[in-house]
Amino acid sequence: MEITVDKHTANQASIKIKLIEADYQPKVDAKLKDYAKKAVIRGFRPGKAPITMVKSMYGVSLLVEEINTLLGESLNNHLKEQTFKVLGEPLPVEKGEESIDWKNQKDFEFEYKIGFVETIEVKLDQTIKGVKYSIKVDQKLIDETVDNLTSQYGESTNPEVSEATDFIYGDLKSTATVFSKTTSVDTTKLSKKLAGKFIGLSKEAIVEFDAKEVKKDEWTAGFGLSDEEADAAKGGYTLAVKNINRKSKAELNQEFFDKIFGPDQVKSKKEFEEKVKETLQGSYDRESKVYTEEELKKLIVEKTNLSLPDAFLKEWLIKANEGKVTETEVEAEYPLYAKQLSWSLISNQVAKEHAIQAEHADVIEKTKEMIREQFASSGLGAQMESSMDLFVDNYLKGNEGQNYMNLMTSVQNEKVLALIQEKIKMTDKNLSIDEFKELLDK
**Ramachandran bin of 174, using left for φ above 0, alpha for ψ from -120 to 50, beta for the remaining angles:** beta
The predicted pLDDT at position 382 comes to 57
Amino acid at 17: I
CB distance 219 to 233 below 8 Å: yes
Whether residue 390 is contained in a domain is answered as yes
Whether residue 290 is contained in a domain is answered as yes
In this structure, the answer to whether residues 179 and 283 fall within a common structural domain is no
Calculated CA dihedral for residues 247, 253, 257, 258, nearest 10 degrees: -100
For residue 87, the domain's CATH number is 3.30.70.1050
Whether residue 291 is contained in a domain is answered as yes
Pairwise CA distance, residues 230 & 219, whole Å: 6
Whether residue 298 is contained in a domain is answered as yes
In this structure, the answer to whether residues 239 and 313 fall within a common structural domain is no
CA 213, distance to chain mean position in Å, is 40
Query: Considering only CA atoms, which of 115, 117, 118 is closest in space to residue 312?
Result: 115
In this structure, the answer to whether residues 312 and 338 fall within a common structural domain is yes
In this structure, the answer to whether residues 295 and 429 fall within a common structural domain is yes
In this structure, the answer to whether residues 226 and 279 fall within a common structural domain is no
Distances (CA, A) of 134 to 137, 293, 307, 414: 10, 12, 33, 18
The predicted pLDDT at position 378 comes to 57
In this structure, the answer to whether residues 112 and 133 fall within a common structural domain is no
In this structure, the answer to whether residues 232 and 323 fall within a common structural domain is no
In this structure, the answer to whether residues 290 and 417 fall within a common structural domain is yes
Query: Considering only CA atoms, which of 99, 139, 95 is closest in space to residue 113?
Result: 95
For residue 275, the domain's CATH number is 1.10.3120
Whether residue 13 is contained in a domain is answered as yes
The predicted pLDDT at position 300 comes to 97
Calculated CA dihedral for residues 222, 228, 232, 236, nearest 10 degrees: -30
The predicted pLDDT at position 210 comes to 96
- The pairing of strands 108-117 and 85-92 is antiparallel
The predicted pLDDT at position 20 comes to 95
In this structure, the answer to whether residues 241 and 273 fall within a common structural domain is no
CB distance 306 to 87 below 8 Å: no
Pairwise CA distance, residues 318 & 329, whole Å: 9
CB distance 252 to 142 below 8 Å: no
For residue 192, the domain's CATH number is 3.10.50
The predicted pLDDT at position 166 comes to 94
Using CB atoms within 10 A of its CB, is residue 224 exposed (0-12), middle (13-18) or buried (19+)?
Answer: middle
Domain around 241: 156-247
Whether residue 149 is contained in a domain is answered as no
In this structure, the answer to whether residues 412 and 337 fall within a common structural domain is yes
In this structure, the answer to whether residues 275 and 376 fall within a common structural domain is yes
Q: Block means of pLDDT (10 residues each) for the chain, length 442 residues?
A: 91 94 93 83 78 85 94 93 92 78 91 93 95 94 93 91 95 95 95 95 95 94 94 95 93 92 90 94 93 96 94 94 90 95 96 94 92 69 75 90 93 96 96 90 79
How big is the CA angle at 132 (ends 130 and 136), to the nearest 5 degrees?
Answer: 155
First to last CA, the chain: 56
The predicted pLDDT at position 263 comes to 87
Whether residue 146 is contained in a domain is answered as no
Whether residue 254 is contained in a domain is answered as no
In this structure, the answer to whether residues 57 and 198 fall within a common structural domain is no
Domain total of the chain: 3
Pairwise CA distance, residues 430 & 203, whole Å: 51
The last residue of one of the domains, among 247, 281, 309, is 247
